[in-house]
Structure 1
Amino acid sequence: MLAEEAKKEITSLSEQINYHNQKYYQESVSEISDYDFDQLLVRLIQLETEFPALKLPDSPSQRVGGTITKNFETVTHQYPMLSLSNTYSAEDLRDFDTRVSKGLEGQAYEYICELKFDGVAISLTYEQGQLVRAVTRGDGTKGDDVTANAKTIRSIPLRLIGQGYPERFEVRGEVYMPISAFEEINKQKIADGEEPLANPRNTASGTLKMQDSSIVASRKLDCYLYSLMTDRHVVATHFDAVESLSDWGFNVSPTYQKCQNIEEVLAYIDKWGEKRKELPVDTDGIVIKVNSLKQQNDLGFTAKSPRWAIAYKYKAESAMTRLKEVVYQVGRTGSVTPVAELEPVQLAGTTVKRASLHNANEIERLGVRIGDQVYVEKGGEIIPKITGVDLTMRPLDSTAFHYITACPECKTPLVRYEGEANHYCPNIDGCAPQIKGRIEHFIHRKAMDIDSMGEQTIKTLYEKGLLTNISDLYDLKYEDLIDLEGFQDLSVRNLLKGIAESKQAPFEQVLFGMGIRFVGKTVAEKLAVHFKSMDALMVADFEALIEVPEIGDRIAESLILYFSKEENQVLIEKLKAAGLNFQIDESKYQTSSDVLAGKSFVISGVFEKYGRDELKSIIKDHGGKVVSSISAKLDYLLAGDKMGPAKLEKAEKLNINIISETQFEEMIN
Structure 2
Amino acid sequence: MDNALERARQRIEELRREIEYHNYRYYVLDDPVISDERYDALMRELIKLESKYPSLVTPNSPSQRVGGQPREGFATVRHRIPMLSLANAFDEGELRDFDRRVRSALPGEPVEYVVELKIDGLAVSLRYENGLLVTGATRGDGETGEDITANLKTIRAVPLRLLRPVPLLEVRGEVYMSKEAFMRLNETREEAGEPLFANPRNAAAGSLRQLDPAVTASRQLSIFVYGTGEIEGVSVNTHAETLALLKELGFPVNPHHRLLPDIQAVIDYCNRWQEERFNLPYVIDGLVIKVNSLDQQARLGATMKSPRWAIAFKFPAEQAKTKVRDIILRVGRTGVLTPTAILEPVRLAGTTVSRATLHNEDIIKEKDIRIGDTVIVQKAGDVIPEVVAVIPEERTGDEKPFVMPRRCPECGAEAVRPPGEAGTRCTNIACPARLREGLIHFASRNAMDIAGLGPAVIGQLLAAGLVQDPADLYTLRLEDLVPLERLGKKSAQNLLEAIERSKSNPLYRLIFALGIRHVGERAARILAQRFGSLDRLSRATYEELVTIPEIGPKIAESVITFFAQEQNRRVLEKLAAAGVNTRQEPEEEPGDKPLAGKVFVLTGTLEHFTRQEAQELIERLGGRVSSSVSRKTDYVVVGENPGSKYDKALALGIPTLREEDFRRLVEQ
In the superposition, the TM-score normalised over structure 2's length comes to: 0.75
Q: Deviations over 1:130-152 (max 9, x none)?
A: 21222344566665543233223
Q: Secondary structure at the match of 2:642?
A: coil
Whole-angstrom CA distance in 2 between matches of 1:655 and 1:106: 73
Alignment of 1:114-193 (within 5 A): 114-137=116-139, 143-166=145-168, 170-178=170-178
With over 3 angstroms needed to count, the CA separation of the structure-2 counterparts of 1:213 and 1:361, relative to structure 1, is: closer
Alignment of 1:278-317 (within 5 A): 279-291=280-292, 292=294, 295=297, 299-302=301-304, 305-306=306-307, 308-315=309-316
With over 3 angstroms needed to count, the CA separation of the structure-2 counterparts of 1:437 and 1:388, relative to structure 1, is: same
With over 3 angstroms needed to count, the CA separation of the structure-2 counterparts of 1:132 and 1:570, relative to structure 1, is: same
Contact kept? 1:152, 1:216, Cα under 8 Å = yes
Contact kept? 1:441, 1:513, Cα under 8 Å = no
With over 3 angstroms needed to count, the CA separation of the structure-2 counterparts of 1:33 and 1:651, relative to structure 1, is: same
Q: Secondary structure at the match of 1:642?
A: coil
Residue number in structure 2 paired with 1:356: 357
Residue number in structure 2 paired with 1:49: 51
Corresponding letter in the other structure for 1:342: L
Contact kept? 1:186, 1:196, Cα under 8 Å = no
Query: How far does residue 69 in structure 1 lie from its aligned partner after superposition?
Result: 1.1
Whole-angstrom CA distance in 2 between matches of 1:439 and 1:11: 47
Residue number in structure 2 paired with 1:647: 645
Whole-angstrom CA distance in 2 between matches of 1:637 and 1:444: 39
Residue number in structure 1 paired with 2:342: 341
Q: Secondary structure at the match of 1:446?
A: helix
With over 3 angstroms needed to count, the CA separation of the structure-2 counterparts of 1:181 and 1:422, relative to structure 1, is: closer
Corresponding letter in the other structure for 2:270: I
Q: How many equivalent pairs are there?
A: 635
Corresponding letter in the other structure for 1:656: I
With over 3 angstroms needed to count, the CA separation of the structure-2 counterparts of 1:371 and 1:613, relative to structure 1, is: closer
Residue number in structure 2 paired with 1:323: 324
Instruction: After superposing the two structures, state which structure 1 stretch, 232-241 or 109-118, moved more.
Output: 232-241
With over 3 angstroms needed to count, the CA separation of the structure-2 counterparts of 1:459 and 1:584, relative to structure 1, is: same
Q: Which of 39, 42, 54 is the matching residue for 2:41?
A: 39
Whole-angstrom CA distance in 2 between matches of 1:457 and 1:202: 37
Alignment of 1:374-523 (within 5 A): 374-379=375-380, 384-389=385-390, 394=394, 397-399=396-398, 401-404=400-403, 407=406, 419-422=420-423, 436=432, 443-446=439-442, 503=503, 506-520=506-520, 523=523
Instruction: After superposing the two structures, state which structure 1 stretch, 436-445 or 264-273, moved more.
Output: 436-445
Contact kept? 1:603, 1:638, Cα under 8 Å = yes
Instruction: After superposing the two structures, state which structure 1 stretch, 38-47 or 242-251, moved more.
Output: 242-251
Residue number in structure 2 paired with 1:221: 221
Corresponding letter in the other structure for 2:286: G
Whole-angstrom CA distance in 2 between matches of 1:601 and 1:29: 49
Q: Which of 21, 31, 53 is the matching residue for 1:19?
A: 21
Corresponding letter in the other structure for 1:632: R
Q: Percent identity between the aligned chains?
A: 40
Query: How far does residue 157 in structure 1 lie from its aligned partner after superposition?
Result: 1.6
With over 3 angstroms needed to count, the CA separation of the structure-2 counterparts of 1:576 and 1:163, relative to structure 1, is: closer
- Establish whether residue 662 from structure 1 lines up as the match of residue 663 from structure 2: no
Query: How far does residue 504 in structure 1 lie from its aligned partner after superposition?
Result: 5.2
Whole-angstrom CA distance in 1 between matches of 2:9 and 2:15: 10
Q: Deviations over 1:341-382 (max 9, x none)?
A: 222345566554322223344345545454444343344677
Whole-angstrom CA distance in 2 between matches of 1:105 and 1:193: 60
Residue number in structure 1 paired with 2:230: 230
Corresponding letter in the other structure for 1:226: Y
Q: Deviations over 1:590-623 (max 9, x none)?
A: 99x8554544444433444555455455545655
Contact kept? 2:376, 2:387, Cα under 8 Å = yes
Q: CA RMSD in A?
A: 5.1
Contact kept? 2:372, 2:399, Cα under 8 Å = no
Q: Secondary structure at the match of 2:377?
A: strand
Whole-angstrom CA distance in 1 between matches of 2:442 and 2:122: 31
Whole-angstrom CA distance in 2 between matches of 1:56 and 1:236: 35
Q: Secondary structure at the match of 1:629?
A: coil
Query: How far does residue 556 in structure 1 lie from its aligned partner after superposition?
Result: 3.8
Whole-angstrom CA distance in 2 between matches of 1:497 and 1:61: 35
Whole-angstrom CA distance in 1 between matches of 2:532 and 2:502: 20
Contact kept? 1:93, 1:262, Cα under 8 Å = yes
Query: How far does residue 15 in structure 1 lie from its aligned partner after superposition?
Result: 2.9
Q: Deviations over 1:77-99 (max 9, x none)?
A: 43665544445422333344455
Residue number in structure 2 paired with 1:61: 63
Contact kept? 1:321, 1:375, Cα under 8 Å = yes
- Structure 2: 5+ residue stretches without partners: 481-488
Contact kept? 1:122, 1:172, Cα under 8 Å = yes
Whole-angstrom CA distance in 1 between matches of 2:37 and 2:568: 49
Corresponding letter in the other structure for 2:76: V
With over 3 angstroms needed to count, the CA separation of the structure-2 counterparts of 1:232 and 1:109, relative to structure 1, is: farther
Query: How far does residue 207 in structure 1 lie from its aligned partner after superposition?
Result: 4.3
Whole-angstrom CA distance in 2 between matches of 1:666 and 1:134: 37
Contact kept? 2:124, 2:137, Cα under 8 Å = yes
Corresponding letter in the other structure for 2:314: K
Q: Secondary structure at the match of 1:230?
A: strand
Corresponding letter in the other structure for 2:72: N
Contact kept? 2:164, 2:249, Cα under 8 Å = yes
Whole-angstrom CA distance in 2 between matches of 1:384 and 1:102: 44
Whole-angstrom CA distance in 2 between matches of 1:533 and 1:516: 16
In the superposition, the TM-score normalised over structure 1's length comes to: 0.75
Residue number in structure 2 paired with 1:263: 264
Whole-angstrom CA distance in 2 between matches of 1:158 and 1:333: 39
Residue number in structure 2 paired with 1:487: none
- Structure 1: 5+ residue stretches without partners: 482-489
Q: Deviations over 1:32-88 (max 9, x none)?
A: 44333333322222221111111122122223x243315342424436655444454
Q: Which of 83, 90, 93 is the matching residue for 1:91?
A: 93
Corresponding letter in the other structure for 2:160: L
Q: Secondary structure at the match of 2:653?
A: coil
Q: Deviations over 1:80-120 (max 9, x none)?
A: 65544445422333344455566778977554322122333
Query: How far does residue 27 in structure 1 lie from its aligned partner after superposition?
Result: 3.7
Whole-angstrom CA distance in 2 between matches of 1:357 and 1:225: 36
